Structure 1
Amino acid sequence: MPAQPTGLIQSVSRALRIIERVSAAPRPVPVKVIARQCGLNLATTYHLVRTLCYEGYLVRLPSGGYVAGPQVAERFHEMVDGFHRPPRAHAVLRHLALVSGHTAYLARLAADHLVIVDLVEGDRSPWIEDLQVGLETAVHATALGKALLATLARPARRRMLATHGMPRFTPATPTEPAEVEAEVCRLRPGEVVVEHGQFRGGVCCAGVAVPGDGPQTWWALGASARGAEVPTRLVTALRTAAADLS
């Protein structure tokens, strides 16, 4: 986590903490539980929860428990729209998933974070809970991330890896910057990248960077498959999709 800045508004931090806790809960959360989980006194929690309900970020159910409100979903859609996907991006993903049968992804770097911007599921790929629209994912252990790392200068790559760390997901995950650098430095932007079980065991992925319409703007188009090897025809379909997107 970055160092805590000075001048934080505690009530804002507390309200955001409540939204996070309630949104992540598998069932409605009573206000006393919210207070305990967020480390707040009950009176403060009541005031914050009432305000969040008024603003639409929480909803109180007849049972007395609270769930995330419609404004949470609104902010999510605004965030995804803010990435300004290429106009035909979803159509390209849908066609890639249709002809290959594999899940197709679109991702980009945003403030040094790798974010999934769009996807279309395919029956031949496993459902991966950490690769969903709006979620940040691992730049060092995914083909999407490596395809985009190849578009950066070496100092920028090293800074990104150092900032976010390199957690181990499987025994095959690279955990040292030199490991990723040795792989990425040989790639040209737009070349297909393949990873084997580095992010999820028994899953392999292919990714390719596609230039956007602005300077230094790149998208990553990718697909996942079960097993240890990416099918050759999936790589071919991915190249065709990248050409369509660009």
Structure 2
Amino acid sequence: MATAPHAAPTLITSVQRALRLLEAAASHRDGAPAKQLAREAGIPLPTAYHLLRTLTHEGYLLREKGVFVLGGAVERLAVGGAVQNRRSRLEESLHHWRDALGVPVYFALYREGEIDLVAYADSPHAPAVSEWANFRETGHAHAVGQCLLSQLDDAALGDHLDRHPVQPVTRYSVSDRRALVERLAATGRTQPVVERQEYALGTVCAAIPMMVGSNAAAMAISLPLHQQERLLPAVEQLRSGVGGLLDALAFSISI
């Protein structure tokens, strides 16, 4: 049977022309007038005027003193693409460690006064811990939260605990604020944090502290209680790879 020829792709001429105009404008740091942009883009001048008005209205171009320069919308596109690229790198790193360790892997930041679970990687055979109690409000009860809180100074820690009071989440949770503060002080800001069934019964977790920019961050893993003997070796393996991991996580806090 003869193979049917592939249909040529349908191209939107007006989009192509608008992109050519943006490329032409981008090549002129101090801007260029409409006639020059039309000539460089190979577009009839009346059509170029129409497209330039549209691009200016949408914020992709600005008209200043008779010339067109790139507008803020172009910068937002570039920033958005960079942010997405950094998020992809983060997710790739988490997937790598999930597969290497055979456990769920979490990444969290402390920013704007709150614990923010940015991303995690799990699998059907190693599912992540379900957020059955509000993760931000129960930072005192899970390894990620304790790891982040241990990196705060006294003022920031006090402010956090004023807004999110310590109270038991399970029967194994830290009992009160004083006990938590003593535990965090004993842990130190550079040591892994381990908790057993403090947030979720039947689960053990460990987290390692890191810094991303000026923000406290943490990588963590979790395991079922009956596999707890794997916890410390796994978190030490993760800890040994933090140097390379930090390179992959050199991303903006805006993600």
TM-score by length of 1: 0.58
The code of the aligned residue for 1:119 comes to Y
- In structure 2, relative to structure 1, the CA distance for the partners of 1:154 and 1:85 (3 Å cut) is farther
Which structure has the larger Rg over C-alpha atoms?
Answer: 2
Could you tell me how far 1:99 is from its partner in structure 2?
A: 1.0
Partner of 2:100: 99
Per the alignment, in what secondary structure is the counterpart of residue 186 of structure 2? coil
Per the alignment, in what secondary structure is the counterpart of residue 172 of structure 2? coil
Could you tell me how far 1:94 is from its partner in structure 2?
A: 1.0
Query: In structure 1, how many angstroms separate the alpha carbons of the residues matched to 2:116 and 2:89?
Result: 19
Deviations 1:46-94 (A, max 9, x none): xxxxxxxxxxxxxxxxxxxxxxxxxxxxxxxxxxx98996774222211
Aligned-pair Cα RMSD in Å: 3.0
**8 Å CA contact retained: 1:104, 1:122:** no
**8 Å CA contact retained: 2:147, 2:193:** yes
- In structure 2, relative to structure 1, the CA distance for the partners of 1:129 and 1:148 (3 Å cut) is same
Query: In structure 2, how many angstroms separate the alpha carbons of the residues matched to 1:161 and 1:83?
Result: 33
Structure 2: gaps (5+ residues): 1-81, 247-255
Query: In structure 2, how many angstroms separate the alpha carbons of the residues matched to 1:230 and 1:145?
Result: 22
**8 Å CA contact retained: 1:93, 1:241:** no
The code of the aligned residue for 2:245 comes to L
Query: In structure 2, how many angstroms separate the alpha carbons of the residues matched to 1:87 and 1:188?
Result: 31
Correspondence list, 1:40-189, <5 A = 88-122=89-123, 125-130=126-131, 136=136, 138-189=138-189
Query: In structure 2, how many angstroms separate the alpha carbons of the residues matched to 1:157 and 1:230?
Result: 31
Partner of 2:11: none
Per the alignment, in what secondary structure is the counterpart of residue 218 of structure 2? strand
TM-score by length of 2: 0.56
The share of aligned pairs that are identical, in percent, is 20
**8 Å CA contact retained: 2:208, 2:219:** yes
Query: In structure 2, how many angstroms separate the alpha carbons of the residues matched to 1:114 and 1:179?
Result: 20
Partner of 1:207: 207
Moved over 3 A (4+): 81-88, 122-127, 134-137
Pair 1:227-2:225 in alignment: yes
- In structure 2, relative to structure 1, the CA distance for the partners of 1:83 and 1:110 (3 Å cut) is farther
Could you tell me how far 1:224 is from its partner in structure 2?
A: 0.5
Per the alignment, in what secondary structure is the counterpart of residue 219 of structure 1? strand
Could you tell me how far 1:168 is from its partner in structure 2?
A: 2.3
Query: In structure 2, how many angstroms separate the alpha carbons of the residues matched to 1:188 and 1:234?
Result: 20
Deviations 1:127-186 (A, max 9, x none): 42218xx96352101111111111111232122112112232210111311111111112
Correspondence list, 1:1-12, <5 A = none
Tell me whether 195-204 or 144-153 shows the greater mean CA deviation.
144-153
Per the alignment, in what secondary structure is the counterpart of residue 221 of structure 2? strand
Instruction: Specify which structure has the higher proportion of helix.
Output: 2
Partner of 2:39: none
**8 Å CA contact retained: 2:208, 2:235:** no
- In structure 2, relative to structure 1, the CA distance for the partners of 1:198 and 1:151 (3 Å cut) is same
Query: In structure 2, how many angstroms separate the alpha carbons of the residues matched to 1:135 and 1:84?
Result: 27
Query: In structure 1, how many angstroms separate the alpha carbons of the residues matched to 2:85 and 2:217?
Result: 11
